[in-house]
Amino acid sequence: MLKNAASKVIFSGIQPTGTPHLGNYLGALYNWVQLQKTTDATIYYSIVDLHAITMPQNPATLRQAKIDMAKSLLACGIDPKRSVLFEQSKVKEHAELQWIFNCITPVGWLSRMTQWKSKLGTNTSSTHSQSLSDETLTTGLKMGLLDYPVLQAADILLYKATHVPVGEDQLQHLELTRDVATLFNKTFKTKLFPLPEAIVPPATKRIMSLRQPGSKMSKSDPSDQSRINLTDGPDEIRSKISRAQTDGIRGITFDPVNRPGVANLLSIQAELEGRTIEQVVEDFQSVQSNKQLKDRVTEVIVEALKPIQAEMSRLDAGYVQQVLDDGADKARSVASENLHSCFKTIGLV
């Protein structure tokens, strides 16, 4: 629980990839819901559609994906009376603050970001100037892929967020946000922007691919068999779990290195039941077959998703859009005031 929660502001965003999968739910969304119950902080949850367009999008698909994501968030337990849920693009101040930050952020900070380097496919010995000037490396890459961490900083600092729920793979981006806030404050001799802290859940949940348990469960995986979507019915779940990669070793043990597939299934069951890995493994002490493990995990997933799926069916698109519009109005009222303070600080007004 956050100390002095009444003075705290939480911000987090999720891309509109349509319906989330089990990895999204256990890795982030469950924590979002719990934060509503464990703190009195002001909470902003944004569907970050401006981030989504750093990759090609079909306009009609993107529009529907935003509604589907919002519906999923509400069904998982995001309460619009407790949290401000909105579409990023409906609050223009995000892009305006990004431009201000663009004007002070060194390019070198961005080119050192791990995800940019992975897109370039460069080795760490290359300088940022060499990487950016090498057209063989940057051909086909767009500016948005380099610059989106600055938009992330704007997303967070626009609401003067003090805390950000993140996984370990996002800590570098939060550090950049802190660096941008520090640079702005120092440059303009102000204390306008706080330095946000990370909220990393205990034992951050990393749910792995059902087909390649060495990789995270991901929407970008071309195989739908690699993930459990929150909309999957009992038969689909049973089929996917039965085909999940395990091994031929007899008995059920938790060994992420040597038995990653079995370990992943045990992790899923433990997280959904709110128990420890040790407690779950104890249940299978006399079990020799992976099939019995898969059958049990299937039952647990089906039961856990029932209330979420029932709520998804109940929610209609009109209501969901109204929640988003109301959220955008609330977010905009704060964003416009904070951006005006920023404009005043740098001399634009």
CA distance between the termini of the chain: 39
Query: Do residues 274 and 203 touch, judged by C-beta distance below 8 A?
Result: no
CA 152 to chain centre: 12
Catalytic residue among 119, 142, 160, 330: 119
Query: Do residues 230 and 305 touch, judged by C-beta distance below 8 A?
Result: yes
Please say whether the dihedral angle defined by the alpha carbons of residues 260, 265, 266 and 270, taken in this order, is positive or negative: positive
* Cα radius of gyration rounded to whole Å, the chain: 22
Annotated active-site residue 160? The verdict is no
Annotated active-site residue 219? The verdict is yes
Residues 6+ apart with CB under 8 A from 283: 296
Backbone angles phi, psi at 104, to 5 degrees: -120, -15
Q: State the Cα–Cα distance between residues 66 and 132, nearest whole angstrom.
A: 33
Tokens, residue 174: 């939060």
Query: Do residues 16 and 52 touch, judged by C-beta distance below 8 A?
Result: yes
Catalytic residue among 66, 205, 216, 240: 216
Beta strands in 100-178 (DSSP E): 163-165
Residue type, position 304, single letter: A
Annotated active-site residue 216? The verdict is yes
Catalytic residue among 117, 142, 219, 330: 219
Q: State the Cα–Cα distance between residues 138 and 136, nearest whole angstrom.
A: 6
Residue type, position 344, single letter: K
Known catalytic residues are: 119, 216, 219
